[in-house]
Amino acid sequence: MNMIQTPKRWAITSAILFASFRTTFASTSIYSACQAPTPDPLTGCPPNTFWVSQTDCGADFTTIQGAISSLPDNNTNYTILVMPGIYVEQLNVTRSAPLTILGQTSTPNAQESNTVTVYWAAANANGKFSDNAFTSVLTVAPTLEASLTGSGPTGYPVPADTPFGCIDFRVYNIDFRNVATEFSAGPSLAVSVSRANAGFYFSGFYSYQDTVYVGKLGNAYFYRNTIAGQTDFLYGFGTAWIQHSQIQMRSCGGGVVAWKGTNTTFPNKYGVYISDSFLNAANSSIAPSMIGKCYLGRPWNAQHRSVYLNTYMDASIRPQGYEKWSSNPLTDNYNNYTVMAEYNSSGPGFNLSARIAGNLTIEFTAKQARVYRTPLDVFMTPGGAQPDISWIDPAAYTW
Ligand SMILES: *[C@@H]1O[C@H](CO)[C@@H](O)[C@H](O)[C@H]1NC(C)=O
Ligand SMILES: *[C@@H]1O[C@H](CO)[C@@H](O)[C@H](O)[C@H]1NC(C)=O
Ligand SMILES: *[C@@H]1O[C@H](CO)[C@@H](O)[C@H](O)[C@H]1NC(C)=O
Ligand SMILES: *[C@@H]1O[C@H](CO)[C@@H](O)[C@H](O)[C@H]1NC(C)=O
Ligand SMILES: *[C@@H]1O[C@H](CO)[C@@H](O)[C@H](O)[C@H]1NC(C)=O
Ligand SMILES: *[C@@H]1O[C@H](CO)[C@@H](O)[C@H](O)[C@H]1NC(C)=O
Ligand SMILES: *[C@@H]1O[C@H](CO)[C@@H](O)[C@H](O)[C@H]1NC(C)=O
Ligand SMILES: *[C@@H]1O[C@H](CO)[C@@H](O)[C@H](O)[C@H]1NC(C)=O
Ligand SMILES: *[C@@H]1O[C@H](CO)[C@@H](O)[C@H](O)[C@H]1NC(C)=O
């Protein structure tokens, strides 16, 4: 059974570390100079940077996957700088050593001005694929098996001896769009992270169903991203923290989130945490037809954990908040392991009396919310040792 309590000592340590991040680091990413357009595109880039362009014959590669595939997995850090353009390709990162992919931009703090988009079109409808994994625009996982969703309450049985994948994968200023359909018609992943650490900064993820997948032993941090979808568009088994981001509902279906937890012998915090963010209808044309129709989430299995922290919710959100999953009998919050919670929500989508009457959404007290205060509290190591979150860009705490 999952344990929800954090030892007190831990909470104190994490508060101290978090405070030091806030004050120690500069307010822009260390990659801004590399990302800025310059006559020699590699000006300001770290050593071991390759560049990708579809039009400049001086570039190292014409496709992003061409650059990724060229990298040796030999404990050397690499960076890939991508020139503006529309790249129609599936990306697959299996290496374990650090890799950073940058979109070129003169405005790195503005996701809406991103110049690089990666497109793919694949939805797993009517058994078209043997697994959702094959639909993803970007996959970060050491092996194919590590990335498989599988089925049933425990999903695909990933072999225990599968190695960990990328210890530090980062993307800055790139949008990923799975354009299989313009409505929910089967899983169509924009990103898939399993058995790997991945940080996404000022990036965008767009599809309609199962847009963001954080699979088993996946750790993913999203900072100032836009994530747009319709049905269960944040899903998985791993741990995701979404900070200062725009969650855009393109219609209503299932829930915004659907997570499968795992019973482990050590305490875990697998789940999705949406912090200081905004849940809005994707645009004003569709907003009126969505009022009161979108659920915050639904439990993909009984160990589901999702927590909204300090988040604004527009009128699209159902007054009752979360919903049950009709085919899943284990959906009440009184079993002490299903966590469908919120703390300090605001906006017209937050109706406290309806939440309480619905008897499904947990309204955290300040004390309960403190257990999930920062990424340090959730990206746990087996055994409960202080987690290593050095793969998260420290500047992302201060921007
Ligand atoms: C996890 O443990 C709970 C409580 O013992 C049990 O009811 C549930 O079926 C288990 N879930 C899985 C996916 O094994
Ligand atoms: C990794 O491979 C690259 C390309 O062959 C080489 O330049 C680099 O020195 C290697 N790094 C290590 C740690 O061996
Ligand atoms: C390589 O990346 C790791 C993890 O991000 C970092 O600790 C290390 O300093 C980097 N090494 C170099 C030579 O940049
Ligand atoms: C990613 O690449 C690995 C290694 O080539 C391959 O085994 C795997 O099938 C690929 N994953 C996907 C989802 O295509
Ligand atoms: C609004 O969003 C919907 C759903 O994504 C889309 O079909 C429609 O084209 C958008 N309308 C405008 C005006 O952007
Ligand atoms: C509640 O959330 C708002 C943002 O919506 C934030 O400004 C405020 O500080 C939060 N209050 C607490 C007690 O965390
Ligand atoms: C809320 O639901 C639980 C089981 O899911 C039930 O035991 C309890 O009586 C319900 N409370 C109210 C006030 O309906
Ligand atoms: C859940 O925890 C509460 C408080 O510790 C306890 O009273 C209740 O019996 C527990 N319920 C289950 C189903 O274990
Ligand atoms: C909140 O929900 C209750 C039903 O529980 C409803 O009567 C009330 O009108 C709602 N309030 C607002 C402001 O929508």
Assign residue 199 the CATH number of its domain: 2.160.20.10
pLDDT of residue 325: 87
Q: Which of 259, 263, 265 to mutate to test the pocket of ligand 1 (most atoms within 8 A of CB)?
A: 263
Residue 2 falls within a domain, yes or no? Answer: no
For ligand 7, the distance from its centroid to the CA atom of residue 360, given in whole angstroms, is 8
Residue 85 falls within a domain, yes or no? Answer: yes
Q: What pLDDT, in 10s, does the model give residues 228-242? A: 999 999 999 999 999
Q: What pLDDT, in 10s, does the model give residues 210-259? A: 999 999 999 999 999 999 999 999 999 999 999 999 999 999 999 999 99
pLDDT of residue 386: 78
pLDDT of residue 332: 54
Residue 200 falls within a domain, yes or no? Answer: yes
pLDDT of residue 335: 62
pLDDT of residue 28: 73
Task: Determine whether 382 is exposed, middle or buried from the number of CB atoms within 10 Å of its CB (0-12, 13-18, 19+).
Answer: exposed
Say if CB 52 and CB 61 are below 8 A apart.
yes
pLDDT of residue 13: 42
pLDDT of residue 334: 53
The CA-atom distances, in angstroms, between 142 and each of 30, 73, 132, 216 are 27, 11, 17, 12
Domain membership of residue 146 as a residue range? 7-396
Stretches where the chain sits below pLDDT 70 are 1-27, 328-336, 382-384, 398-399
Q: Which of 49, 70, 74 to mutate to test the pocket of ligand 2 (most atoms within 8 A of CB)?
A: 74
Residue 170 falls within a domain, yes or no? Answer: yes
Closest listed ligand to the CA of 75: 2
CA-wise closest residue to 107 among 165, 12, 160, 172: 172
For ligand 6, the distance from its centroid to the CA atom of residue 312, given in whole angstroms, is 10
Residue 317 falls within a domain, yes or no? Answer: yes
Say if CB 96 and CB 163 are below 8 A apart.
yes
pLDDT of residue 269: 93
> How many folded domains does the chain comprise?
1
Query: Would you say the CB of residue 237 lies under 6 angstroms from ligand 1?
Result: no
For ligand 2, the distance from its centroid to the CA atom of residue 333, given in whole angstroms, is 52
For ligand 3, the distance from its centroid to the CA atom of residue 102, given in whole angstroms, is 16
Residue 176 falls within a domain, yes or no? Answer: yes
Query: Would you say the CB of residue 385 lies under 6 angstroms from ligand 9?
Result: no
pLDDT of residue 337: 79
The CA-atom distances, in angstroms, between 167 and each of 85, 154, 195, 260 are 28, 24, 9, 23
